[in-house]
Amino acid sequence: MYPSSCDTFVALPPSTEGQRIIFGKNSDRPCDEVQEVVYFAARDYNAEEKVECTYIEIAQVAHTYAVVLSRPAWLWGAEMGANEHQVCIGNEAVWGRESADGEEALLGMDLVRLGLERGDTAEKAVGVIAELLEKHGQGGSCMEDDSGFTYHNSFLVSDRKEAWVLETAGKHWAAERVQEGYRNISNQYSITTKIDKEHPQMRAYAQSKGWWDGKTEFNFATVYSFLTTARIESAGSRYCEGKKLLEKSNGQITADAMMNILRDKESGINMEGMFMTTGSMVSVIPTHAALPGVHYFTATPDPERSTFKPFIFVKHAVPLKETTSPSFGADDPVKKMPRFQTKPDRKHPLFVKHELVAAIIESNKDRGEKITHAMKQLEKDSIKTMEKILMEGIEEPDILANLFSGSVQKEISIYGKS
């Protein structure tokens, strides 16, 4: 039995303060896995170019949008991220009647990145993911050193005006539009009878398998999932806890409120153990097109012990060196056969510093409290500064080109004073 993991949230007016959409996600992964935060600029390609995803190569498009991604350092795709058009995507593992075992294809995390690189609205990103899923399928190990860990995927996609939930089983899928209020996904199918888009053969396939009689009202979650398995029950419990936390702040959901949800350990949202929260993201997207979106990332494990640092898309954004892991190129064991024999050190500079300080916080109460207080103050000051930008915009955007890296350096400076 594999552990359940991950939660993604979105809140839209009138659940949020002001005309904003708040997106949040915890990435729960193996506790020894490094998650990096990376930026890729927009780019044009030749007609015949290909893109090498984690396991397979597919056709490239003529133009990709600029993206910021939080991803396990060993793969091509991402657990979560955003693009220059303020589209945000996070994915979750789901299991159901359709087997997740099969040949290597696109990972759900590859589809997250592809959706962001190719979709300038949430609805278009859903279309990109659905089309690629139908063409290439999903499959392959979702852990660097465990070839048997496979799953299907659900996605939560948002932009400046709405959100979409996209849930998949093999090449089949269903999608639900969310235009107000709040929504969360976890490790279970959650789309029931409100289906706004779907694979054209989804119902016929379910009927051919004997999962649906073709007469009763079609409920995607009921038809495609095993609701009695321990995995689904575990995820369902956390899914319900996530909904409760959103309801608790309903009408006043802010960046800070979303960060608190992601830090909540009692609910299991902030996971500990062999699977733990290895990276977190919160995005604040004004519905007004003239205002910038702010995307906060931790780039380190356990949001309770991490600082959310802001990123804003600007024309000349700089590479995020302090949160980019070492690259092994052709020598990377993920690209070799047999795979998974060697697991290289993928720790980026911020991760190394954070790991050392986490040990100090555990062993020395006084020093730990001092460091924690300084980190929280840094985050508080950052949110206050970003709030002004969210409300008023900025006349010279490129002065923010080093925003995220500068925040990382301030965090490392706090560690250095510890």
The helix/strand/coil state of 46 is coil
Residue 113 backbone phi and psi in degrees, to 5: -65, -45
* CB distance 211 to 240 below 8 Å: no
Torsion of CA 75, 76, 79, 80, to 10 degrees: 150
Nearest residue to 28 (alpha-carbon basis) of 11, 10, 8: 8
Count of Cβ atoms closer than 10 Å to residue 306 Cβ: 24
Phi-psi region at 96: left, alpha or beta (left = phi > 0; alpha = psi -120 to 50) = beta
* Tokens matching residue 199: 């694979």
**Bridge partners, residue 310, by sequence:** 296
Residue 176's H or E segment, with its range, is strand 172-178
The helix/strand/coil state of 331 is helix
> How far is C-alpha 86 from the geometric centre of its chain's CA atoms?
14
Could you confirm whether 6 is annotated as catalytic? Answer: yes
Q: Which amino acid type is present at position 286?
A: P
**Bridge partners, residue 65, by sequence:** none
Alpha helices in 210-364 (DSSP H): 220-224, 230-248, 255-262, 349-363
C-alpha–C-alpha distance, residues 65 and 263, integer Å = 31
Nearest residue to 76 (alpha-carbon basis) of 95, 89, 94, 57: 57
Count of Cβ atoms closer than 10 Å to residue 226 Cβ: 12
* Cis bond upstream, residue 338 (ω within 30): yes
* CB distance 171 to 364 below 8 Å: no
> How far is C-alpha 114 from the geometric centre of its chain's CA atoms?
13
How many Cα atoms occupy the beta-carbon half-sphere of 112 within 13 Å? Answer: 30
C-alpha–C-alpha distance, residues 278 and 409, integer Å = 20
Integer distance in angstroms from the first to the last C-alpha of the chain?
41
User: Which residues are identified as catalytic?
Assistant: 6
